[in-house]
């Protein structure tokens, strides 16, 4: 990495005075000091191949090369990254509390990228790091960020709302995704058929006309959705309905439109060849917990006092920090505004669930994301994060549709023998393919894999779950690489390079490009080799020293279900793989998807618009006086130092790009997030050196800019954080899954808010929700 500024000017961070007073809050006096090892540890959950991890590593390297750090000046400590503290955001709270509870002075952290609930967990042990104790850092925070984007610090149980406890870093919001061709089909059918016929609001005609300019997908969409059935508007249909863009900006009208569409297109889809079978939905929610909170905040008229839960003072508060969150109110106190908000929100979701309009993560076996249905025209709307732009539409190309696997012997020893006899592992480790389960197939997982050498590192680009001592079923995501034949008819996966002598061995990383391998083997020029090929994937580890592996531990340290063992196999490409072309007229393409901000009002008369403010921030944990000072010095540098970064979007790129801004802004930029700084929000959104160039990010930018410029019209929503917040959010999702299963298995029973609440409470047993 290169930096244009001179190192002496750029890297010298200004010192922050040691605070005269550390936080003395109402919590029990369990505060303790960590060992002063003169290094700061930042915990994160980023994968090593992610752009945001690479950017964070660059930032840390830069900090570690500042003059003050290299000279070991007091208050300027080196930084180490810890990606093992907790594997996911959901598990961070438990991991942090585990260390705080035993007062672990050696294995704690100084900073963590996570959500405000972590600050609430730390506050229970009086271990939250108060950024406002450091005057220069406090001032830097207030001058860097618009005031309304510092809201998270005001909604943390047990912490003074006038102080700062979290820095906004990797921020996003939520977007309404619209399948343009499908919506156009629905509108056209409803406006040409019926007694009174639907109409389009005059001022919105241009927007509706641009939903599907090419109109190439209508034949396939008609096959999926069937014929339109005219039903009068007063009877819940679309005959006489007025389509308007405003119906998409508030939940009352939005949910009303969804129900009308479901009633007007009742035909079930039965195309057997389609991987989604008869599954189709009007609305998809990848995170039902997030959605319940956003809908509830709108139903509460953006008033935290009527939201499901918020900070409340203890009965005899000792100070402004003496706050708690009473989660049980929206579940039990039927006369309270919180309960009424919860009841209304649940009933809105429940109606869509029961009439088959709603999909959420966990409703279908395999837990496919909403975009799987949206991209196949099996879904009209989805509400998702504003990040991950390229995952929001389909790319027309050939891809694998069905994989059939040749069965292998169930006997592990026989399998090991076959591997020994068929694969030469004297030079490179081998990954063996495993068949997916039925549930995994629905998630488009092509196969699972493991190494014949269980000491081999797992490829950075793969996804896996891992316990403390054992590897667990891995699924491999592929990236574009060529696949070459070796002299002994093995497959070698190599990075594409015009100069073949300099090609490097890599693992595949993207599903869509796996077909390059299959097509090359099935091409006419390879017809004479049919039956010879078996898909063994080689991944050369840089640390691998060669030498023959004497034993194969394919089954060792793997948790494989019996169904998976029954299907243990490797692929014979020419005989066992079927594939088809993804027709652009049967899928949602980039120019066919439309983005709006999520519905942000209760109804059309609501005064304020809510804006969801989500994504991890940077939270401090108390260590000791010297390291706390070093943490504050780093954070001030992180949000104020202007740097010109030089980077490559892809490792193989020959041309570098530049970014000018603070480390915080650079980190967000590389991760396709937005750091909501004053500097960013007065910049030109069309500046490609400063912002990602896509419509979804532009929507995020314009939304945050509107919040900054018109605070009286918008209400930032970030859920109030208590120590229980993370677990509650997870259990809300699980409770909806359980509730939907109960509807399926016992449709004649009563299923309502009371039964949902019982589901939720049961997940906390033997404890009670307080």
Highest averaged pLDDT of the listed ranges 307-321, 496-510, 552-566: 307-321
End-to-end CA distance of the chain: 51
SS3 of 35-62: the string is CCCCEEEEECCCCCCCHHHHHHHHHHHH
SS3 of 182-207: the string is HHHHHHHHHHHCCCCCCEECHHHHHH
Which one has a higher pLDDT value, 497 or 558?
497
Q: What is the CA radius of gyration of the chain?
A: 28
Burial of 72 (0-12, 13-18, 19+ CB in 10 A): exposed
pLDDT at 439: 54
Please check the confidence at residue 528 and state whether its pLDDT lies above 50: no
CB contact at 8 A, 503 and 415: no
List, in sequence order, the alpha helices (H) in 528-606: 562-566, 573-576
pLDDT at 708: 95
pLDDT at 268: 64
pLDDT at 726: 87
Helix or strand (DSSP H, E) at 416 = helix 412-422
What b/e string do you get for 480-489 counting C-beta neighbours within 10 Å, with b at 16 or more?
Answer: ebbbeeeeee
Please check the confidence at residue 524 and state whether its pLDDT lies above 50: no
Determine the Cα–Cα distance for residues 461 and 452; give it in Å rounded to an integer: 18
pLDDT at 395: 61
For the chain, list the domains and their CATH numbers.
7-173+613-717 (3.40.190.10), 174-286+361-396+584-612 (no CATH), 288-348+724-762 (no CATH), 399-581 (no CATH)
pLDDT at 8: 36
Angle, CA of 660, 645 and 114, to the nearest 5°: 85
pLDDT at 373: 87
User: Tens digits of per-residue pLDDT, 401-414?
Assistant: 222 223 333 444 45
346-355, 416-425, 610-619: the lowest-pLDDT one: 416-425
User: Tens digits of per-residue pLDDT, 192-215?
Assistant: 999 999 999 999 999 999 999 888
Mean pLDDT of 389-398: 66
Residue 565 zone, left/alpha/beta (φ > 0; ψ -120 to 50; rest): alpha
Determine the Cα–Cα distance for residues 298 and 610; give it in Å rounded to an integer: 7
Please check the confidence at residue 539 and state whether its pLDDT lies above 80: no
Which one has a higher pLDDT value, 322 or 718?
718
Which of 288, 220, 211 lies closest to 245, judged by CA?
Answer: 211
Mean pLDDT of 376-395: 86
List, in sequence order, the alpha helices (H) in 449-555: 514-522
Mean pLDDT of the chain: 75
User: Tens digits of per-residue pLDDT, 478-487?
Assistant: 222 233 333 4
SS3 of 100-115: the string is HHCCCCCCCCCEEEEC
Determine the Cα–Cα distance for residues 237 and 243; give it in Å rounded to an integer: 12
CB contact at 8 A, 212 and 249: no
Q: Measure Cα distances from 690 to 174, 358, 644, 645, 672 in Å.
A: 21, 37, 11, 11, 11
Please check the confidence at residue 541 and state whether its pLDDT lies above 80: no
pLDDT at 201: 97
37-46, 218-227, 416-425: the lowest-pLDDT one: 416-425
Determine the Cα–Cα distance for residues 313 and 160; give it in Å rounded to an integer: 11
User: Tens digits of per-residue pLDDT, 616-636?
Assistant: 999 999 999 999 999 999 999
pLDDT at 662: 97
CB contact at 8 A, 726 and 90: yes
CB contact at 8 A, 233 and 241: yes
Please check the confidence at residue 370 and state whether its pLDDT lies above 80: yes
pLDDT at 352: 96
Hey, what are 742's tokens?
Answer: 């109960």
User: Tens digits of per-residue pLDDT, 598-609?
Assistant: 999 999 999 999
What percent of the chain has pLDDT above 70?
Answer: 69
pLDDT at 518: 41
Widest distance between CA atoms in the chain: 85
User: Tens digits of per-residue pLDDT, 105-161?
Assistant: 998 999 999 999 999 999 999 999 999 999 999 999 999 999 999 999 999 999 999
Determine the Cα–Cα distance for residues 482 and 492; give it in Å rounded to an integer: 8
Which of 43, 5, 10, 56 lies closest to 666, judged by CA?
Answer: 56
Band (29; pLDDT cuts 50, 70, 90)? low
Determine the Cα–Cα distance for residues 493 and 461; give it in Å rounded to an integer: 14
pLDDT at 583: 58
pLDDT at 408: 35
Mean pLDDT of 427-437: 38
pLDDT at 274: 43
pLDDT at 344: 97
Mean pLDDT of 389-397: 70
Band (718; pLDDT cuts 50, 70, 90)? very high
pLDDT at 770: 81
**β-bridge pairing 111-114 and 39-43:** parallel
pLDDT at 546: 31
φ/ψ of residue 329, rounded to 5: -60, -45
pLDDT at 405: 29
CB contact at 8 A, 503 and 496: yes
Which one has a higher pLDDT value, 224 or 268?
224
Please check the confidence at residue 11 and state whether its pLDDT lies above 70: no
pLDDT at 665: 97
Helix or strand (DSSP H, E) at 715 = strand 714-717
User: Tens digits of per-residue pLDDT, 633-650?
Assistant: 999 999 999 999 999 876
CB contact at 8 A, 285 and 338: no
Determine the Cα–Cα distance for residues 179 and 188; give it in Å rounded to an integer: 14
Please check the confidence at residue 394 and state whether its pLDDT lies above 50: yes
Determine the Cα–Cα distance for residues 491 and 489; give it in Å rounded to an integer: 7
SS3 of 282-343: the string is EEEECCHHHHHHHHHHHHCCCCCCCCCCCEEECCCCCCCCCEEECCCHHHHCCCCHHHHHHH
């Amino acid at each position: 990495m290169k930096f244009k500024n001179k190192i002496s000017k750029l890297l010298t961070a200004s010192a922050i005075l040691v605070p005269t007073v550390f936080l003395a809050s109402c919590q029990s006096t369990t505060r303790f000091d960590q060992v002063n090892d003169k290094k700061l540890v930042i915990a994160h959950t980023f994968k090593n191949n992610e752009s945001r991890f690479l950017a964070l590593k660059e930032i840390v390297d830069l900090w570690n090369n500042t003059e003050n750090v290299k000279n070991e000046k007091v208050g300027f400590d080196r930084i180490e990254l810890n990606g093992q503290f907790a594997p996911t955001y959901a598990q961070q709270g438990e991991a942090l509390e585990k260390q705080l509870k035993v007062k672990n002075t050696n294995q704690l952290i100084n900073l963590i990228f996570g959500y405000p609930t972590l600050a609430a967990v730390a506050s229970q042990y009086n271990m939250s790091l108060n950024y406002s104790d450091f005057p220069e850092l406090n001032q830097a925070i207030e001058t860097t960020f618009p005031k309304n984007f510092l809201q998270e610090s005001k909604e943390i149980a047990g912490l003074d709302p006038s102080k700062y406890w979290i820095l906004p870093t990797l921020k996003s919001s939520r977007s309404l995704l619209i399948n343009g061709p499908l919506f156009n089909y629905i509108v056209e059918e409803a406006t040409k058929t019926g007694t009174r016929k639907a109409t389009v609001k005059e001022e919105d005609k241009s927007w509706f006309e641009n939903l599907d300019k090419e109109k190439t997908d209508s034949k396939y969409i008609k096959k999926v959705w069937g014929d339109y059935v005219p039903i009068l508007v007063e009877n819940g249909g679309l005959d006489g309905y007025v389509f308007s863009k405003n119906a998409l900006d508030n939940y009352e009208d939005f949910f009303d439109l969804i129900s009308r569409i479901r009633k007007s297109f009742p035909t079930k889809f039965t195309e057997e060849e389609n991987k989604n079978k008869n599954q189709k939905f009007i609305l998809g929610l990848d995170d039902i917990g997030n959605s319940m909170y956003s809908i509830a905040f709108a139903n509460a008229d953006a008033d935290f006092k009527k939201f499901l839960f918020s900070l409340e003072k203890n009965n005899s508060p000792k100070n402004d920090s003496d706050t708690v969150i009473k989660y049980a109110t929206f579940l039990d106190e039927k006369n309270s505004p919180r309960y009424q908000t919860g009841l209304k929100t649940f009933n809105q979701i429940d109606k869509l669930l029961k009439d088959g309009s709603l999909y959420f993560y966990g409703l279908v076996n395999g837990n496919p994301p909403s975009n799987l249905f949206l991209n196949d025209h099996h879904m009209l709307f989805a509400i998702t994060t504003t990040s991950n732009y390229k995952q929001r539409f389909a790319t027309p190309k050939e891809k694998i549709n069905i994989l059939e696997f040749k069965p292998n012997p169930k006997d592990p020893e026989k399998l090991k023998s076959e591997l020994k006899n068929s694969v030469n592992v004297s030079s490179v480790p081998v990954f063996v393919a495993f068949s997916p389960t039925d549930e995994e197939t629905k998630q488009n997982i092509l196969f699972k894999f493991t190494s014949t050498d269980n000491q081999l590192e797992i490829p950075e680009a793969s996804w896996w779950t891992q316990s403390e001592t054992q590897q667990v079923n891995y699924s491999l995501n592929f990236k574009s690489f060529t696949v070459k034949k070796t002299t002994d008819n093995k497959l070698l996966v190599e990075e594409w390079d015009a100069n073949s002598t300099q090609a490097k061995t890599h693992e595949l990383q993207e599903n869509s490009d796996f077909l390059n391998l299959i097509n090359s083997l099935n091409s006419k020029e390879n017809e004479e080799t049919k039956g010879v090929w078996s898909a063994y994937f080689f991944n050369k580890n840089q640390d691998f020293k060669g030498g023959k592996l004497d034993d194969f531990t394919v089954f060792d340290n793997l948790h494989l279900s019996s169904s998976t063992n029954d299907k243990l196999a490797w692929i014979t490409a020419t005989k066992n793989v079927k594939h088809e072309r993804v027709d652009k007229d049967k899928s949602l393409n980039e120019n066919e998807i439309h983005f709006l901000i999520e519905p942000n009002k209760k109804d059309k008369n609501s005064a304020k618009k809510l804006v969801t403010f989500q994504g991890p921030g940077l939270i401090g944990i108390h260590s000791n006086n010297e390291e706390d000072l070093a943490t504050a010095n780093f954070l001030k540098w992180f949000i104020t130092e202007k740097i010109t970064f030089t980077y490559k979007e892809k490792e193989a790129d020959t041309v570098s790009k530049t970014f000018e801004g603070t480390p915080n802004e650079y980190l967000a930029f590389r991760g396709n997030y937005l750091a909501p700084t004053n500097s960013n929000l007065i910049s030109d959104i069309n500046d490609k050196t400063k912002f990602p160039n896509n419509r979804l990010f532009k929507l995020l930018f314009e939304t945050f800019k509107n919040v900054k410029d018109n605070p009286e019209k918008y209400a930032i929503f970030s859920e109030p954080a208590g120590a229980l917040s993370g677990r509650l959010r997870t259990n809300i999702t699980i409770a909806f899954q359980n509730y939907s299963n109960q509807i399926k298995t016992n449709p004649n029973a009563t299923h309502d808010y009371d039964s949902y609440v019982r589901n939720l409470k049961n997940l906390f047993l033997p404890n009670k929700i307080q």
